[in-house]
Structure 1
Amino acid sequence: MTLRPLTSGMVAETTPDELREKLADDDDDLAVVDIRDPSSYASGHIPDSENLPAATLGPEVFDREWPAEVVVSCYVGKSSKQVASVLDSNVDADVSSLRGGFDAWDGAVEDGSESEGEADLGPTSPF
């Protein structure tokens, strides 16, 4: 797969309040992707989020089936903007970054690990 260039504009942001409302709707067309490292994710994460650590993201992430809407969360909302921009340019979904990241999240928190992979801080990750 050839990656498309990043979107020219700023990536959309979703506020914690907006995300909380979307999660309350229990919509199957929404995915919350937490790009923090697995130990941070295990310590606490947004309910029903999926851990895809930024350090392990590779081209295979673009080949998977994505729901209609994806919200990317990181620690403080900076790395998630980068990942959201790349996803937005390369997948058929409305992608946004969680404004303020997990630090700004004041909703329910789950703990435990459901990580897709171990953090590998090797040179293959673009983030």
Structure 2
Amino acid sequence: MSFKIIQAQMARELLDQDKATFVDIRDPQSFDASHIRSSTRLDNSNLQAFLAAADKARPTVVCCYHGMSSQSAAQFLAEQGFSEVYSLDGGFEFWKTCHPDACE
């Protein structure tokens, strides 16, 4: 299993249609300052609970700062049995310039 790169526009369509789970691996302060609407912050402290509760058949989009660290996290999730995992191209920094209305 492997992940795919997803462009911000396609990710936005999944978000608007509630067809994907969004996870954010940035630090707590950055996440608290702003994040993709309905995303969940994911780190080592809540990873096991997330893995246990997540719908692994639902598309999952992983977000970081610039789209680099999310690739490793997306690959990890794919290896845990998630069937459709994406790394957000450009990360949150790009997302917030394209879709500021989809940020909290």
Give the TM interval when normalised to the shorter protein: 0.7 to 0.9
Computing the radius of gyration from Cα coordinates, the structure with the larger value is: 1
TM-score, scaled relative to structure 1: 0.69
Q: How far 1:61 sits from its partner (Å)?
A: 4.0
What residue ranges of structure 2 are gaps of 5+ in the alignment? none
Deviates most, 59-68 or 81-90: 59-68
Q: Which has the higher helix share?
A: 2
Q: Which residue of 1 aligns with 2:55?
A: 66
Q: 1:19 aligns with which of 11, 14, 20?
A: 11
1:47 partnered with 2:37: yes
C-alpha distance in 2 between matches for 1:78 and 1:37: 15
- Alpha carbons of structure 1 residues 57 and 86: separation in structure 2 relative to 1, 3 Å: farther
- Alpha carbons of structure 1 residues 40 and 26: separation in structure 2 relative to 1, 3 Å: same
C-alpha distance in 2 between matches for 1:70 and 1:58: 14
Q: What letter is aligned with 1:48?
A: S
Matched positions, count? 99
